[in-house]
Amino acid sequence: MPLMRIPYTAPLPSPTIIPASASTIPGALAALDDFLNTPVRSAPGNGKTVILSGAGISVASGLADYRGSAGTYTLNKTYRPIYFHEFCASHEARKRYWARSFLGWTNLHRSRPNKGHEAVGSLGKLGKLSSVITQNVDSFHPKAHPDLRTLELHGYLRSTVCLSCRTEYSRDDFQRDLSVLNPEWAAFLAEMVESGALTTENPEERRRKGLKTNPDGDVDVPGVQYSTFRYPSCPKCLANPPKGTKVEQDAEGAWTPDSTAGILKPAVIMFGESISNPVKLAVESAIDEASRMLVLGSSLATYSAWRLVKRAKEQGMPVGIVNLGGVRGEEQFFQDVPANGLGREGVRTALSLEQFLPSLVERMRETSTTPLLRNENFQPAPWAWR
């Protein structure tokens, strides 16, 4: 199979700030205030805003992003993720994936939502938002605002899923199984934790300690071999293999390569993997129900995210983007937006989300007449937060 290309690993062009006054925090606050509060006549919707968030909103939680100034593609030019077809086909690829995930899970599991995630929840309680679509797999949005609907476009790392029977299992339980099967790796992980290499929230400091940290809980230790790493099989398939398959394990409980089923993968959309139709329909419905879209911390480099903003724009919805770097094809989202407008037609600003969003919430509280809302009838979809 030809090697798929990772999109937009080079820096994207710097943005044009719209309106021009949004280059400062006071100007950006005024523009977003106008954007969020002005009724939209060009899009029917529910009068509220749907948010699309990316890795940039989780950087303040100590997680690496892909394309930021300190992102993986910026600092590690040779980084290449494991593709879905490789994971499915190769026992060695799965060893590599799970070994690196084993090392990275501790930091990801200890990380918490930051002020940006909390501010999104506050905007929801103020009645400004209808839902959140996130590209992130860290579960921070549903943790920070369980009453505001979150649709996880690319899945979530909190679970594993069987490729054969689709049963999901806790990633915490899976981590314990990996520790039992790989005692030397577990001892190595304990040493790294004790040294502080994984407890720091500063990705640069982790690199200085000999680690290359990448998004989605991936940690690369230069020079380490992954061939000895072992991982368990799906318990359900082990007990009752699907018809025409076999699932074998060694004496200590590790999946063996003569098996033809029972492979566990992270419950995320890997590179080269398709998003399921139920999730596609859910996020499209979330857009169709809203009246405007606000993008937070995403370069929209992946088509699965970019097409959602395109869909919103084609339906007459104003688009706002708050992202420190450039955004894929953003000029077409603002070509009809006046550079000297107030913000209601669209906003593009480049500010730190952790600093800017709490200030936006305070401004909304000062200007809003809507009481804090709680959606008592909300029931999460099966692909949303669990």
Residues paired with residue 160 on neighbouring β-strands, in sequence order: 169, 266
How distant is the alpha carbon of residue 376 from its chain centre?
26
Residue 234 known to bind ligand: yes
What Rg, from alpha-carbon coordinates, does the chain have?
22
- Selection from 121, 156, 125 nearest residue 138 by Cα: 156
Residue 88 known to bind ligand: no
**Tokens at 251, concatenated:** 């004496």
Contact 301, 268 (CB under 8 A): no
b vs e for 94-121, b when ≥16 Cβ sit within 10 Å of the residue's Cβ? bbbbbbbbbbbbbbbeebebbbbbbbbb
Contact 31, 346 (CB under 8 A): no
Q: Please pick, among 117, 141, 145, 154, the residue that the annotation labels catalytic.
A: 154
Strand pairing class (155-162; 168-170): antiparallel
Contact 293, 315 (CB under 8 A): no
CA 307, CA 313: separation in Å to the nearest integer? Answer: 10
- Determine whether 154 is an active site residue: yes
Q: In Å, what is the CA distance from 45 to each residue of 91, 191, 327?
A: 48, 53, 25
In Å, the largest CA–CA distance within the chain is 70
Give the DSSP letter of residue 55.
G
Residue 290 CB partners (closer than 8 Å, separation 6+): 43, 45, 46, 48, 49, 50, 130, 131, 312, 317
CA 213, CA 275: separation in Å to the nearest integer? Answer: 25
CA 383, CA 155: separation in Å to the nearest integer? Answer: 8
- Selection from 144, 153, 149 nearest residue 129 by Cα: 149
CA 148, CA 171: separation in Å to the nearest integer? Answer: 24
What is the distance in angstroms between the CA of the first residue and the CA of the last residue of the chain?
Answer: 35
Q: In Å, what is the CA distance from 272 to each residue of 27, 112, 304, 384?
A: 40, 28, 11, 21
Length of the chain: 386
Residue 237 known to bind ligand: yes
Active site residues: 154
Q: Which positions make up the binding site for Zn(2+)?
A: 162, 165, 234, 237
Q: Which positions make up the binding site?
A: 162, 165, 234, 237
